[in-house]
Amino acid sequence: MKRLLALTALVTGLLPFIASPGMAEGQLKVYHWFEYIPQELVDKFEAETGIDVTIDTYDSNEAMLASLKAGKLGQYDVAVPGDYMVEIMRGEGLLDSYKPDEMPNFKNIAPEWLDVPFDPGRQHSIPYQWGSTAFAVNRNVYKGDISSLAIIFNPPEELKGKINVLDSQGEVLALGSLYLGIPQCSQDREQLKALNDMLLAAKANWASFGSDTAEDVLVSGDAAAGMIYNGFSAKARAEGANVEYAFPKEGYVVWMDNMVLLKDAPNRANALKFMNFLLDPKNAAAVTNYAAYNSGVTGVDPFLSDAVRNSPENNPPAGQKGEFIEACDQDTQKLYDAIWTNLKK
Amino acid sequence: MAAPVNSQSSGNQTYGELVNRLLLPTWLVIGCLLLIPVLLMTVYSFLTKEFRGGIEWNFTLAAYEQFFITRGLFGDEPPQIEWTYITIFWRSVWQAALATLLCLVIGFPTAWFIATRPARIRPVWLFLITIPYWVNLLIRTVSLRFILRDNGPLNEAMMALGVISDPLPILNTDLAVQIGLFYSYLPFMVLPIYAAVERFDFALSEAAADLYANRWQTLTQVVIPVVRPGIVAGCILVFIPALGAFLAPDLLGGAKNFMVGSLIDEQFRGSQGNWPFGAAVSVILMTLVLIALLVQARNASRGQA
Amino acid sequence: MKGVRHYPGFLAATIACLLILYVPLMVIAVYSFNGSTSITKWSGFSLRWYADVFTGPEAERFGLATWNSLSIAIIAATVSTMIATAAALAMIRGGSFRGRQATYALINLPLMVPEIVVAVATLIFFTTIGLTTGYMTILLAHVTFCIPFAYLPIAARLTGIEPTYEQAARDLYATRGQAFRLVLLPLLGPGLVSGWLLAFIISLDDFIITNFVKGAGMETLPTAIFGSVKQGIKPNIMAISTLMLGVSILFVSLSYLVNRRGRTAA
């Protein structure tokens, strides 16, 4: 019996080596967030070009950076970091660059997203999706005014103890800074002390920190208000929660995910083909309809589904400005790291 | 019939000469695949952190200093003891210890019960205990979340039975974390104890009964000393992983406080990107656990016979 | 008199144990039939998620991931159990030899090191020595951290077995190998099974280490699931989990029937 088991195990172990992928026009190795691109679109690309696409996933910008630094650089062709992470990767020399004439669809990039602070002139990246991060409130529990970040940081009675915040240093500290009206990468002692004290006081009213569960807690009622990405808020609404997404007057966080060309990409030409493919308005619309955020490509509008085009989460009121999260320099970052550790200790 | 249970007495040298060959695979596998990387990490703890993750080859004690000494938020106050990280350690030790206790209290009777069933049925019980673990831990923890919620099935059942009138807030508390840890590691307590109990010679207990010991005396004075290696193994297999766990604390406890596990994770996969500090915390954790293990091993070999 | 096999409250503890273990699983199974994409609000019975698992866009991916997870777990559990048995023999039946304490520490090393540290350190190590990451690297890493989990039940069991049995066999002119195979091994049985089971479930569930040391394009079930959680947990994950549960129950029932057939004296 034991021998049989061992034999089975041996055969089972050899099988992965027997199966081999078919290689026609080569391969493409994508490092991506899970379920951020519809499989049908990938299939379409594979059918059009004959390239074999594999997608590996990560669960946060920082985790992606960590694994690239620990040794995965050179295994992937493209990745999809957020705005501040593009800048960080640029500074660390993890990105390869391209010239606009290598991508015929380069002209489709929307002008307002062409010259971004984290990649001026778009030499390393293309826009993928953008959205905002603020908060949503369950209208069954609280019917008052929700136009201020005070809902999170100095909540009214009905919401105390029922608030979830994102478990992410960048977002929480950025929104906190916006609430207090202080700059994001400040080194001013008074301002930092104020931020530290305000967060500690606010924490007493928070039920939990959670990024994955941000949408779940609103639907299930564990939280009546919470920091959330606009797309998650739309999903919560679709699942029946009576939540309203807020665009606070103090400001909110705007983020953009971008597809970047990685240094030492094993299949650089195929990578450029893929990026070009995603700049086609029909394909960009397919991504947008799937992910329910906004695209950075012109001409997508006719192809968008009504639900996505008209969702309140994707249409901020005029005059409300969103801010990108800033990546601070080393000394400043140390101070913010200390504030976060202090908050969570 | 007092059979020596200790392994150290002579007559237990059956494999004496084979020791080197028997241990070769272990040394090869763990030595190459783990020891070397861990030594590498230890070296890392003495290096300088590279901004946003990684290391620079400059030797320094900065990481350990960050752990033990604080100079205020801006780094310019006189040095004092840093209690932050010690508190985090203490909290994790407490959580792990309580979880181990909980596992022991429920796991020991369960293991005993299974081991005293007819031999044919025992594998069925064993598998019953381990089948749930074929389902991914994250999914099971999420499911536990669902059950423990304020308006979840547990509270509703308790209210329907009249035990409580208002929902008991269990989620996002330490109790939920305990339940979660217990749930994560239960079979690690049951299986080793089962293996040890199954070997127990029930004639010993009948002898004790003949000497007018009641069942509980038999348990504490005859049974437990004999199955102690199993109990100790179970406790080790629960306590140590629980110490570094962060799935249950985060998902069920609300992630409001760092545990050792989440603290280290933040250094490597979070915004703080401080690998030397993460390595230093790990070294401190490993040292503490190693000391505890060696003390226990020495006690075991000295106390028994 | 009932004797020491029956303690009051022990049955209750076992029932409580099983209840706690299975109630969350029942919830998972129930919600895998949920009509909507929510996992907290029930909206009607539907088999759509099971259809999605087998025919949906992610089907191939999850199928391959499951295959990888199961095959790695079986191999890793088997190999680590063998290594652990050898180690247990040496530690417990080898008398006191030089380096005994060090070996004890080494065997427990995978337990003591936090997973994230193992993950990052192992990847850096593999990259430094130029080992291409892929199936084999996952397997190697899994065998390594399964060893202490297999070792501890086996050692606990071995400690309770007197050497007299093997000595008796040797006195009757059995070789050491025969004494091992025919006397000690059967006695070790439950310990081996416990060790194998522990190693198996540890390997099946591992996420952090696997995520770091796997090659591009490799997925195991936990890495696939964890990634999907970031976009919100959908009932298709529940369906996969329920299927895994079904498979394991099937596997167990089969092995029980096979064992019953071939069993001699209890």
Answer whether C222 sits within 8 Å of B136, measured CB to CB: yes
Tell if the pTM clears 0.90, that is, is over it: no
pLDDT value of position B305? 38
Please report all neighbours of B, defined by 3+ CB atom pairs within 8 A.
Answer: A, C
Q: Do A225 and A135 meet the contact criterion of CB atoms below 8 Å apart?
A: yes
Mean pLDDT calculated for residue range B13-37: 85
A220/C contact by beta carbon, under 8 A: yes
Please identify among residues 179-218 of chain B the ones whose CB lies closer than 8 Å to any CB of chain C: 179, 182-183, 186-188, 190-192, 194-196, 198-200, 202, 205-206, 209, 215, 218
Nearest to B51 among A189, A210, A330 (CB): A330
Residue (of B282, B27, B34, B268) closest to C110 by Cα position: B34
pLDDT value of position B256? 84
- CA C135 – CA C210 distance, rounded (Å): 10
- CA A322 – CA A319 distance, rounded (Å): 10
Answer whether B51 sits within 8 Å of A341, measured CB to CB: no
User: What are B116-143's pLDDT values in tens digits?
Assistant: 888 778 878 888 888 888 788 888 888 8
Residue A266, Cβ neighbours under 10 Å: how many?
16
Mean pLDDT by 10 residues, chain C (266 residues): 63 84 85 72 76 75 86 94 92 82 86 81 84 85 92 84 83 81 83 85 86 80 76 74 80 68 46
- The angle formed by the CA atoms of residues B139, B140 and B142, to the nearest 5 degrees, is 65
Contacts of A342 (CB under 8 A, 6+ apart): A196, A200, B73, B84
For strands A27-33 and A52-58, give the pairing. parallel
Buried b (16+ CB within 10 A) or exposed e, A276-306: bbbbbbebbbbbbbbbbbbbbbbebeebbee
**CB-count burial class (<10 Å; 0-12, 13-18, 19+) for B161:** exposed
pLDDT band at A18 (very low <50, low <70, confident <90, very high): very low
The pair of structure tokens assigned to C219 is 């997925």
Contacts of C204 (CB under 8 A, 6+ apart): B133, B134, C69, C70, C73, C221, C222
Match 């249970």 to its residue by tokens.
B5
Nearest to A338 among B73, B250, B251 (CB): B73
Amino acid in position C123: L
pLDDT value of position C20? 84
Which of A64, A162, A163, A167 best probes binding to B when mutated, by most B CB atoms within 10 angstroms?
A: A167
Residue C106, Cβ neighbours under 10 Å: how many?
21
Answer whether C198 sits within 8 Å of B188, measured CB to CB: yes
Distance of CA B65 to CAs B53, B79, C200, Å? 19, 10, 40
- CA A175 – CA A202 distance, rounded (Å): 13
Mean pLDDT calculated for residue range A184-199: 90
For strands A322-323 and A252-261, give the pairing. parallel
- CA A219 – CA C229 distance, rounded (Å): 16
Look up the ipTM and state it.
Answer: 0.78
User: What are A308-331's pLDDT values in tens digits?
Assistant: 888 888 888 877 778 888 888 888
A22/C contact by beta carbon, under 8 A: no
Answer whether C39 sits within 8 Å of A58, measured CB to CB: no
Nearest to A71 among C39, C124, C135 (CB): C124
Buried b (16+ CB within 10 A) or exposed e, A5-17: eeeebeeebeebe
Residue A2 has pLDDT above 70, yes or no: no
Answer whether A220 sits within 8 Å of C71, measured CB to CB: no
Q: Which residues of B touch A221 (CB under 8 A)?
A: 149-151
User: What are A30-49's pLDDT values in tens digits?
Assistant: 999 877 888 889 999 999 99
Minimal C-alpha gap between A3 and chain B (Å): 20
Answer whether B215 sits within 8 Å of C4, measured CB to CB: yes
Most trustworthy range by pLDDT among A21-35, B3-17, B33-47, C210-224: B33-47
pLDDT band at B303 (very low <50, low <70, confident <90, very high): low
Please identify among residues 133-162 of chain C the ones whose CB lies closer than 8 Å to any CB of chain B: 140-141, 143-145, 147-149, 152-162
User: What are B162-216's pLDDT values in tens digits?
Assistant: 877 777 788 888 888 888 998 888 888 988 888 888 777 777 777 777 777 777 7
- CA A311 – CA A244 distance, rounded (Å): 11
| Runs of H (alpha helix) within chain A | 2-18, 39-49, 61-67, 83-91, 150-153, 169-180, 189-203, 214-220, 230-238, 268-278, 281-291, 306-310, 330-344
Please report all neighbours of C, defined by 3+ CB atom pairs within 8 A.
Answer: A, B
Q: Which residues of B touch C39 (CB under 8 A)?
A: 142, 146
Residue (of B8, B36, B48) closest to B274 by Cα position: B48
pLDDT band at A280 (very low <50, low <70, confident <90, very high): very high
- CA B46 – CA B63 distance, rounded (Å): 7
Q: Which residues of B touch C256 (CB under 8 A)?
A: 123-124, 127
The pair of structure tokens assigned to A289 is 């309809």
